[in-house]
Amino acid sequence: MSHSATEIWAIIAVLGVGTFLIRFSFLGLVGGRRMPGWLLRHLRYTPVAVLPGLVAPLVAWPDAVGGNTDPVRLAAAIATLAVAFWRKNVLWGALAGATTLEVLNWML
């Protein structure tokens, strides 16, 4: 990793303050007023707009296998998403993905 200890602590401090301010924002400052609907409508999609984009390249081109598409990791990703969606449950999804990953890796 190319980051100094000072940089790491700076990131921790900025993320700590920034995250707190996000959490405090409306609870702390808005009072009884209501946010505009268009803003709420965009904010509602924040997690599904960020997390898939973060993961997609890691699934498609994993560094661990030289950036080439790996059928084992791809299958594990699909199994995770499918089971988590179907069961509406994070742990079942993670378990399905981890099992798929380990079993296929052992077989292939």
Partner 1 sequence: MSLATGKSAFLEGFIAGVPFLFVAGPFAFLFGVVAVEAGLDIPQSVGMSLVVIAGAAQFTAVQLLSEAAPIWVAMAAALAVNLRMAMYSASLQPHLGSAPLWQRVIVSYLNFDISYALGIAHFDERPERPVNQKVVYFLGTIALTAPFWVIGTLIGAAAGGALPDNALIDFAMPILFLAIVGPMLKTLAHLAAAVSSAVAAMLLFWLPTGIGLLIAAAIAMAVGAEIERRRGR
Question: Within 8-67, which residues bind partner 1 (CB under 8 A)?
Answer: 8-16, 18-20, 22-28, 30-32, 35, 38, 40-64
**23 three-state secondary structure:** helix
CB of 24 to partner 1, least distance (A): 4
Instruction: Give Cβ neighbours of residue 83 (< 8 Å, ≥ 6 apart).
Output: 89, 92, 93, 95, 96, 97
Question: Applying CB under 8 A, which of residues 66, 71, 82, 107 lies at the interface with partner 1?
Answer: 82
CB of 92 to partner 1, least distance (A): 8
Instruction: Please state, in angstroms and rounded to a whole number, the distance separating the CA atoms of residues 105 and 21.
Output: 43
CB of 107 to partner 1, least distance (A): 13
Is residue 85 at the binding interface for partner 1, with CB under 8 A as the rule? Answer: yes
Q: Residue 95, Cβ neighbours under 10 Å: how many?
A: 16
